[in-house]
């Protein structure tokens, strides 16, 4: 389903590379491109030749053109994903790995400088990785992320594994250059070495953003895969080029997910799917009780030196570690002096919605107005649910509280709010 040539976006790669190979000696400029006949194509002409812009139009029943109703398309796509996810959750007892130690491996080999993703694969990867890191820390505040790169067949650790997004993002925005081959085995070996030092209650994960079509390894990659499997590291790969057997094999063996992106927006979608915690296999992480501290803000008149920047700060601007009483600037963090993990209760509360998700809503098909009495407006936003022709447009209904919601509220409730307004506005006097 995800191979080369699937869908409109995938055709970009073959046409541009074949064009380049046929005229290797020609100069390539930014706005124009050579075709086989030697005529220069303008950018707007490329929209027809390469991007097939006529595919964005649809015909309705009488043969007249109309633009695609993106809203119902987006909603239908969204519901499919949601149903898939909840079906998977319902099958096993919901246990999610909430404390995650994730290494992101970025491929900086020669293949990453290809320009089928504009401006280049590496730039697109860096941009979306930054958005992913922010989203990741938003959904998993107690987790840690580190960055590793593969270049010239050797993998380097770009940043140490850490609990705050700023240092990772700063490294991503720095100058990144591509060259050489890529080696999956070296990357996995490096990550395996680092993830071994992680506490046993954490879920170990690797996310590889792979642009190359091959891997040049110094040894037997199957052994490395066995090692990772034994250390319970969950490895997922997002490919930018084509489906590769070894990547699929790694993901199957370690229990991760392998997907190949068709174009830039698809890549972003696939990447952000890795932000919510994956269903956890119970034996992969020991269920411990971790000692954590809940610091309070210091008094206004307390002046001390903060332990992270070594600068003088007033007590009211920082937090006081409950065990060793040093000043820390922000949460969540690990106290530098005594090693206690410091969090505040909203950080823990941010993860609770993963444990109590909202049930998917049922679709309610359009019915004429006279049959459905009493349902005029969406319960959440009071938007009129009726089409101008008197029928109710497509909307949804919560199975628990039977309130009707419009499509936009449905998407908002399930993606961001995680509360059903109807269920919350009802008092259930039975013990919850």
Partner 1 sequence: MTSAHSKLYSDDVSLVVVVVDTNPFFWATAALPFADFFANLVHFVNSILLLNHLNRVVVIASGVSSCAYIFDSGDASPAGGVGVAATFDKASRKVEEFIAQDAHATASNSSAASANAASLLSGALSLAMCYIQRIFRSGTRHPQPRILCLQGSPDGPEQYVAVMNSIFSAQRSMVPIDSCIVGTQDSAFLQQASYITGGVYLKPQELNGLFQYLAAVFATDLHSRTFLRLPKTLGVDFRASCFCHKKTIDMGYVCSVCLSIFCKNQKKCSTCG
Interaction between residue 381 and partner 1 (CB under 8 A)? yes
Task: Please say whether the beta carbons of 33 and 23 come within 8 A.
Answer: no
Strands 327-328 and 144-151: unpaired
Interaction between residue 352 and partner 1 (CB under 8 A)? yes
Of 167-186, binders to partner 1 (CB under 8 A) are: none
Binding mask 261-300 for partner 1 (x = CB under 8 A): -------------------x----xxxxxxxxxxxxx--x
Strands 312-314 and 303-305: antiparallel
Which listed residue (20, 284, 323, 400) binds partner 1 by CB under 8 A?
A: 323
Q: Which is nearer to partner 1, 249 or 350 (CB)?
A: 350
Burial 12-27 (b: 16+ CB within 10 A, else e): bbeebeebeeeeeeee
Which listed residue (92, 349, 359, 367) binds partner 1 by CB under 8 A?
A: 349
Which listed residue (156, 229, 350, 400) binds partner 1 by CB under 8 A?
A: 350
Interaction between residue 387 and partner 1 (CB under 8 A)? no
Q: Which is nearer to partner 1, 13 or 275 (CB)?
A: 275
Q: How far is the CB of 345 from partner 1 (least distance, A)?
A: 4
Q: Which is nearer to partner 1, 110 or 323 (CB)?
A: 323
Cα–Cα distance measured from residue 357 to residue 151, given in angstroms and rounded to the nearest whole number: 41
Interaction between residue 353 and partner 1 (CB under 8 A)? yes
Of 58-117, binders to partner 1 (CB under 8 A) are: 95, 98-99
Q: How far is the CB of 412 from partner 1 (least distance, A)?
A: 5
Q: Which is nearer to partner 1, 362 or 424 (CB)?
A: 424
Interaction between residue 220 and partner 1 (CB under 8 A)? no
Distances (CA, A) of 55 to 8, 66, 267, 377: 8, 12, 20, 35
- Two tokens, residue 298: 């210091």
Interaction between residue 417 and partner 1 (CB under 8 A)? yes
Which listed residue (86, 257, 304, 351) binds partner 1 by CB under 8 A?
A: 351
Task: Please say whether the beta carbons of 70 and 120 come within 8 A.
Answer: no
Distances (CA, A) of 325 to 89, 135, 297, 311, 337: 42, 32, 11, 16, 9
Closest CA to 76 of 393, 377, 394: 394
Contacts of 338-343 with C-beta under 8 Å, sequence gap 24+, read: 340/291, 340/292, 340/293, 341/142, 341/290, 341/291, 341/292, 341/293, 342/292, 342/293, 342/294, 342/295, 343/141, 343/142, 343/292, 343/293, 343/294
Of 135-164, binders to partner 1 (CB under 8 A) are: 138
Q: How far is the CB of 289 from partner 1 (least distance, A)?
A: 4
Question: Which residues is 234 bridged to in the sheet?
Answer: 205
- Residues in contact with partner 1 by the rule CB under 8 A: 95, 98-99, 138, 201-202, 280, 285-297, 300, 322-323, 340, 343-346, 348-353, 355-356, 378-383, 408-409, 412-413, 415-421, 424-427, 429, 432
């Amino acid at each position: 389903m995800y191979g080369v040539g699937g869908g409109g976006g995938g055709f970009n790669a073959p046409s541009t590379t074949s064009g380049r190979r046929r005229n290797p000696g020609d100069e390539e400029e930014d706005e124009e491109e050579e075709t086989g006949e030697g005529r220069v194509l303008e950018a707007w002409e490329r929209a027809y030749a390469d991007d097939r812009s006529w595919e964005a139009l649809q015909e309705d029943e009488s043969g007249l053109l109309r633009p695609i109703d993106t809203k119902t398309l987006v909603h239908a796509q969204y519901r499919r994903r949601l149903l898939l996810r909840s079906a998977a959750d319902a099958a096993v007892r919901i246990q999610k790995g909430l404390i995650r130690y994730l290494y992101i491996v970025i491929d900086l080999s020669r293949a990453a400088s290809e320009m089928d993703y504009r401006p280049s694969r590496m730039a697109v990867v860096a941009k979306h990785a930054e958005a992913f890191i922010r989203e990741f820390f938003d959904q998993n505040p107690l987790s840690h992320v580190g960055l590793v790169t593969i270049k010239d067949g050797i993998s380097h650790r770009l940043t140490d594994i850490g609990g705050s997004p700023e240092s990772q993002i700063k490294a991503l925005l720095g100058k990144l250059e591509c060259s050489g081959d890529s080696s999956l085995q070296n990357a996995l070996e490096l990550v395996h070495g680092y993830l071994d030092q992680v506490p046993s209650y954490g879920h170990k994960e690797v996310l590889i953003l792979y642009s190359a079509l091959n891997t040049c390894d110094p040894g037997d990659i199957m052994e490395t895969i066995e090692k990772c499997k034994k250390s319970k590291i969950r490895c997922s790969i997002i490919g930018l080029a084509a489906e590769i057997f070894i990547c699929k094999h790694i993901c199957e063996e370690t229990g991760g997910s392998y997907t190949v992106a068709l174009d830039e927006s698809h890549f972003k979608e696939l990447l952000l799917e890795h932000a919510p915690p994956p269903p956890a296999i119970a034996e992969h992480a020991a269920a411990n009780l971790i000692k954590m501290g809940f610091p309070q803000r210091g008094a206004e008149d307390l002046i001390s030196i903060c332990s992270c920047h070594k600068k003088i700060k007033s007590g009211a601007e920082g937090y006081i570690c409950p065990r060793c009483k040093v000043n820390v600037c922000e949460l969540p963090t690990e106290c530098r002096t005594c090693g206690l993990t410091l969090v505040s209760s909203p950080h823990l509360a941010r993860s609770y919605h993963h444990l109590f998700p909202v049930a998917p809503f049922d679709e309610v098909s359009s019915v004429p107005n006279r049959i459905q009495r009493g349902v005029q407006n969406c319960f959440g936003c009071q938007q009129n649910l009726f089409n101008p022709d008197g029928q109710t447009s497509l909307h949804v209904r919560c199975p628990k509280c039977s309130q009707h919601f419009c499509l936009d509220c449905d998407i908002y409730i399930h993606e961001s709010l995680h509360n059903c307004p109807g269920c919350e506005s009802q008092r259930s006097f039975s013990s919850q």
